[in-house]
Amino acid sequence: MKRKVSLFCSALLLLTFLSPASAAALEPNSVASVFSRYIENKYLANPSVVVIDQQDGSVVYQKGAYSLRKPASIQKIFMGAAAVMHLPMDQAFSTSLWTGTDPKSLVIQGSYDPWMSTDPKLAIKMGRTSLPRFEYNSLKALKDANSGTIKSFTLYYSSLFTSDTEHIKKFFRKNGITANMKRVSMESALNLSDTRILTSESPELEEILAYAVAWSDNTLSERIARLASVAAGNTFDQAGVADTFSSVLAELGIDSSKMIVKDASGLSKENRVTANLVGQLLVKIKTDERFEPLINGFPISGISGTLRNRFTETAPDAVGLVKAKTGTLSNTTNLAGYVESGDREYAFVIISDRHVKTYSVANRIRDLVDRILGKIAAPFMPRIQPEPEPEPVPASELEPELEIASSEIPL
């Protein structure tokens, strides 16, 4: 087995040495030819496309790049950019449960944890704060503090998302108890708290953001976007998110005047962007190290996230060479990101939001897009410079060799 590995490594090293840098890389004109040849496929149904050379920002190919289209989940790229610009990536979110100063009260001191989960098994598996765990501990604490039947109690809380408070109310209703939910400030929550029951802390935001982008998590994306909106000085709603996205793009020098934002996740079919706008954003964030947490979350072809099952059969040579955000709705199949081609890298946006609303057509489009990118993708193969031959050592400086009898050679 070791010999096979050694031979493989030797062959790979020889191939790298013999191959000139970016031997299989495509120049911009060739990339444009590939797209021109295949992008008119009937299944794509007149897509909006742009390809930009990351090296100098020049547009290599475009088709309907200024047409307003449905972004679907490539909308999450805007969410990620807003998060990076307005939220500390090392931020963690703490949530704690307390008995209240009144025996028929409890307190939850929250911090708008976007990572909180209503699925206890998922919470354990992924290190999330489990809302059911908080609920069951709340019920136990109430019973321990109050003898007899409990019909109602007051739950004071700070910094919880509405969907989480609704889940708590529903839990207690199922157990025959009315939870009177009262939102309070963090200062009031501290004053109303008596004894801590449990505390849970999330991972850092960088990890949460990467997951939201890699797996296209809609709930996480909406919550992170609202946190970014408040941090940017805007409102904690969709209008605030839209304002935040616009200000982020303006700061990056991108005109977003025609962009329509109805949510942060891309679920709304009323969202509108242009391929050119998304392409410009891709170029900007790739050249700014602040956005590494966002870029690192992009799915990788054939390896991770929503691209883990793509390219492996349709374009195996492109596995690991495409980093891109997917976007899917009932008649929309999009992909936006980066493709490596030797020592070049191209940012691309493909928005196909007018195709037939069938699963089979969507799959055909994915396969076609994979194959197009597969014709462009190529690994960077740097030439290995041979080491200079050592100069001969004069015979006078050589140490005399020791003669060893064959019988003395260890076996």
Residue 397 has pLDDT above 60, yes or no: no
Q: Mean per-residue pLDDT for 86-109?
A: 96
Determine the CATH number of domain 94-203.
3.50.80
pLDDT tens-digit map of 318-365: 999 999 999 999 999 999 999 999 989 999 999 999 999 999 999 999
Task: List where CATH 3.40.710.10 sits in the chain.
Answer: 23-87+207-374
pLDDT tens-digit map of 279-303: 999 999 999 999 999 999 999 999 9
Residue partners of 388: CB distance under 8 A and separation at least 6: none
- Tell me whether strands 178-183 and 59-63 are parallel, antiparallel or unpaired: unpaired
- Report how far residue 301's alpha carbon sits from residue 232's, in angstroms, rounded to the nearest whole number: 33
DSSP secondary structure letter of residue 260: B
pLDDT number for residue 7: 39
Task: List where CATH 3.50.80 sits in the chain.
Answer: 94-203
Q: How far apart are the first and last CA of the chain?
A: 23
pLDDT number for residue 12: 41
pLDDT number for residue 14: 36
- Report how far residue 338's alpha carbon sits from residue 345's, in angstroms, rounded to the nearest whole number: 7
Strand order in the sheet with 105-109: 178-183, 152-158, 105-109, 94-100, 193-201
pLDDT number for residue 147: 79
- Report how far residue 396's alpha carbon sits from residue 394's, in angstroms, rounded to the nearest whole number: 5
Q: Are 365 and 352 in contact (CB under 8 A)?
A: yes
Residue 63 has pLDDT above 60, yes or no: yes
CATH class of 23-87+207-374: alpha beta
Q: Are 218 and 225 in contact (CB under 8 A)?
A: no
- Report how far residue 304's alpha carbon sits from residue 205's, in angstroms, rounded to the nearest whole number: 19
- Tell me whether strands 105-109 and 152-158 are parallel, antiparallel or unpaired: parallel
Residue 88 has pLDDT above 80, yes or no: yes
pTM of this structure: 0.85
Q: Mean per-residue pLDDT for 187-209?
A: 96
**What's the pLDDT band for 406 if we cut at 50, 70, 90?**
very low
Residue 392 has pLDDT above 70, yes or no: no
C-alpha distances (whole Å) from 365 to each of 110, 124, 185, 334, 335 are: 44, 37, 50, 9, 10
Q: Mean per-residue pLDDT for 66-82?
A: 98
pLDDT number for residue 11: 41
